[in-house]
Amino acid sequence: MSKKRKLGRGVAIVGAGMSNFGMFPDKDSKDVFAEAFSEMLANVDKGCDPADIQAAWIGNFSNDFFVHQAHWGPIIADLAGLAPKAVTRTEGACASSTLAMRDGLMAIASGMYDIVLAGGVEEMSKCSTEEVTEGLALATSPYEGAAGYTFPGVFGALATAYFHKYGAGREDLMNITIKSHENAPLNPKGQFKQTIRDLMEARKARLEKKGQPVPDWADEKAALWDPGFNPAVAWPMHLYDCCPISDGASCILMVAEDLAKNFTDNPIHIVGFGQGSGRGLHACPSLTSFEANKQAAVEAYGTSGLSPKDIQFAEVHDCFSIAELIHIEDLGFFEAGEGYKAIANGETRREGRMPINTSGGLKCKGHPVGATGTAQMFEIWKQLRGEAGERQIPGRDLYIGATQNLGGTGGTCTFTIFERR
Amino acid sequence: MEERPFSDISYRLYLDEDKFMGSKCRKCGQLYVPPRHFCLECRSEDMEWYEMKGEGELAAYTCISIGPAFMIEEGYDRKNPYCTGVVTLAEGPRIVARIEGVDASDPEAIKIGTPMTVEFLHRGEGEKAKTFLAFRPS
């Protein structure tokens, strides 16, 4: 399985777009997708006539549940002016739009098409928190749902297994949250734009205004230990270990490598791709790793001929803080059981050896689940082209980045490697 | 043992009868719980029902403050969280199950490695009757 398999022909990204992520009571899925699509077109350096797009794949997990509308392929086809060409919805829970990219990749590599669109959309904020929790729980393993697990509950259980095996604790997960919130103010499209310090000051001001006792936290961790600031959701997962409920959309334009120069002098090549499937907690080989990640990593490193040390930075799927820690170990960026120490040493900060989630991650950027995969690619596109503005990784020439996207509770994991040549 | 199909539905019917059942491969002896129709090790379809001892130890857990509707109906909420976990069974496989007999509002006091024994929680009446697999400290 680890045999090196090259794509039939190379595929490059020549445009990327992303809507603002957040809770938008006055916008629907079409509105946010239109934002992403327009930006993508505007980001194609030499321009793109939308009439040249031959097909599209659109990731969407569960708008059926969230807004009672399914069958998003033709809706997006109509919106983007692609009808009557083929537009297909892909579903892989929170990895839905990476699967859209995968279908586009295979279609171009096979020679079927030359120019395709891949993207994703989700509209979650019209539901109550309870409804969203129920909707997301549809993507757990059936045995877990029956045992009373919620989404955060499954990740909470993984965290206790990790703590027990490697001697880590809640404060190690807090380092991940604090780091993500350090990047948050630098991403103008993100849902949360405040550092933990900003949020602490805001809470103090609110309590003072209400005439309630104002806490005197020594630092960020003191606030995160305070259940008034950071209540338990599924211990050891607390509010600040969990990504928010979001609306948003994202998309990329993919073309056959030999056509890329018609669109831009600075394309981003997709050089490695892997996808794996995982089983429930009862059947997976390890409680401190996702087997689907390992499969995806073997495939992506195999197709690219690259190894973990070649990856300069990555966006990984931090739906919950513990997930970020497990991913960076599963993908080989850090040894198993060493990731939390590297995080504590600042190695995953923007200035660190291996920057992780410069976008602020799902935690701060937001997580409209079907849009997340191609939104991670939007960040890689920006960073590799040196266009990430204030959050640009400082002081180095970036040419290889990667995205890791997880669906469900690890049922689907993908790992994609991108190169600027 | 009677001829029930090796399915999730049969597994739940056994739970209703206070039986914790897996399927065992007659060819190579591999054990599966919940049951499987065929053996992943040797691909044999010659399976038999196997009653689990119901002993094991806690491998992972979480204490949930915001649960699904059916747990809220049982009276669990932010002030009264519940525990659910993963138990490594004496026979080798792991299983997810509710964890009873622990204080879910003091999660740090719950210890991985604690010996556990099976318990069957019968909830609801009539058509809504449902049995939950649970474990409690031995």
pLDDT in tens, A275-286: 999 999 999 999
pLDDT band at A4 (very low <50, low <70, confident <90, very high): low
Q: Indicate if the pLDDT at residue A261 is higher than 70.
A: yes
Beta bridge partners of B56: B89, B116
| One domain for residues B45 and B61 | no
- How far apart CA B53 and CA A279 sit, in angstroms, is 24
CB A87, CB A58: distance < 8 Å: yes
- How far apart CA A122 and CA A410 sit, in angstroms, is 19
**Edge to edge, what strands does the sheet with B47-51 contain?**
B31-32, B21-25, B47-51
pLDDT of A289 reads: 98
Contacts of A274 (CB under 8 A, 6+ apart): A295, A296, A297, A298, A299, A300, A301, A302, A303, A414, A415, A416
Chain B nearest C-alpha distance from A286 (Å):
11
Taking phi over 0 as left and psi of -120 to 50 as alpha, with beta for the rest, B101 belongs to: left
Residue A128 has, within 13 A of its CA and on its CB side, a CA count of: 3
Q: Do B60 and A148 touch (CB under 8 A)?
A: no
CB-based contact (8 Å) between B63 and chain A? yes
Q: Domain of residue B41: give its range.
A: 8-51
Q: Indicate if the pLDDT at residue A133 is higher than 60.
A: yes
| One domain for residues B18 and B80 | no
Look at residues A278, A251, A245 and name the one whose alpha carbon lies nearest to residue A369. Answer: A245
- How far apart CA A117 and CA B137 sit, in angstroms, is 54
| One domain for residues B64 and B132 | yes
Within a domain: residue B3?
no
| One domain for residues B83 and B121 | yes
C-alpha separations of B3 from A300, B7, B27, B47, B49 in Å:
45, 11, 18, 11, 9
- How far apart CA A413 and CA A392 sit, in angstroms, is 27
Task: Decide if A68 is catalytic.
Answer: no
Portion 354-393 of A in contact with B at CB < 8 A: none
Q: Do A157 and B60 touch (CB under 8 A)?
A: yes
SS3 A105: helix
Read off the pLDDT of each residue in A20-47 and give the average, rounded to a whole number.
Answer: 98
Read off the pLDDT of each residue in A390-402 and give the average, rounded to a whole number.
Answer: 97
- How far apart CA A251 and CA A34 sit, in angstroms, is 10
| One domain for residues B67 and B83 | yes
- How far apart CA B35 and CA B45 sit, in angstroms, is 12
Instruction: Give which of B7, B64, B73 to mutate to test A binding, by max A Cβ within 10 Å.
Output: B64
How does strand B94-99 pair with strand B130-137? parallel
Read off the pLDDT of each residue in A350-365 and give the average, rounded to a whole number.
Answer: 98
pLDDT band at A130 (very low <50, low <70, confident <90, very high): confident
pLDDT in tens, A290-319: 999 999 999 999 999 999 999 999 999 999
Among candidates A129, A159, A282 on the partner chain, residue whose Cβ is nearest the Cβ of B86: A282
- How far apart CA B108 and CA A298 sit, in angstroms, is 37
> What tokens does A408 get?
């469900």
CB-based contact (8 Å) between A169 and chain B? no
- How far apart CA B1 and CA B48 sit, in angstroms, is 8
Q: Do B8 and A142 touch (CB under 8 A)?
A: yes
pLDDT of A1 reads: 42
| One domain for residues B21 and B40 | yes
> What tokens does A390 get?
């204030």
| One domain for residues B31 and B65 | no
Q: How many residues comprise chain A?
A: 421
Least confident of A2-6, A50-54, A392-396: A2-6
Q: What phi, psi does A381 have (nearest 5°)?
A: -55, -50
CB A250, CB A97: distance < 8 Å: yes
Place of tokens 């509707």: B69
Give me the average pLDDT of each 10-residue run along chain B (138 residues). Answer: 87 97 97 96 96 98 94 95 98 98 98 98 92 97
Within a domain: residue B111?
yes
Largest CA distance in chain B: 50
pLDDT band at A134 (very low <50, low <70, confident <90, very high): confident
* CB-CB neighbours of A189 under 10 Å: 22
| One domain for residues B35 and B64 | no
Q: Do A156 and B64 touch (CB under 8 A)?
A: yes
Within a domain: residue B2?
no
Q: For B105, name the nearest residue in chain A, comparing CA atoms only.
A: A235
pLDDT band at A3 (very low <50, low <70, confident <90, very high): low
Residue A411 has what DSSP assignment?
Answer: T
pLDDT of A8 reads: 81
| One domain for residues B64 and B114 | yes
Look at residues A180, A198, A200, A199 and name the one whose alpha carbon lies nearest to residue A190. Answer: A180
Within a domain: residue B86?
yes
Among candidates B33, B93, B96 on the partner chain, residue whose Cβ is nearest the Cβ of A149: B96
B78: which chain A residues are within 8 Å (Cβ-Cβ)? 231-232
Total domains present in chain B: 2
pTM for the model: 0.97
Report cis status (omega within 30 of 0) of the bond before B115.
Answer: no
Q: Which of A327, A364, A367, A413 does the annotation list as catalytic?
A: A367
SS3 A81: coil
pLDDT of A5 reads: 65
- Here the ipTM equals 0.97
Q: Do A148 and B67 touch (CB under 8 A)?
A: yes
| One domain for residues B71 and B127 | yes
Q: Do A149 and B64 touch (CB under 8 A)?
A: yes
| One domain for residues B33 and B45 | yes
Within a domain: residue B1?
no
Task: Decide if A94 is catalytic.
Answer: yes
pLDDT of B2 reads: 62
Read off the pLDDT of each residue in A360-370 and give the average, rounded to a whole number.
Answer: 98
C-alpha separations of A389 from A22, A183, A187, A359, A394 in Å:
21, 12, 9, 11, 10
Q: Which of A48, A94, A242, A319 does the annotation list as catalytic?
A: A94
Read off the pLDDT of each residue in A143-172 and give the average, rounded to a whole number.
Answer: 96
CB-based contact (8 Å) between B114 and chain A? no
Report cis status (omega within 30 of 0) of the bond before A84.
Answer: yes
- How far apart CA A274 and CA A299 sit, in angstroms, is 5
- How far apart CA A22 and CA A245 sit, in angstroms, is 8
Place of tokens 């029930």: B4
| One domain for residues B43 and B59 | no
Q: Indicate if the pLDDT at residue A2 is higher than 70.
A: no
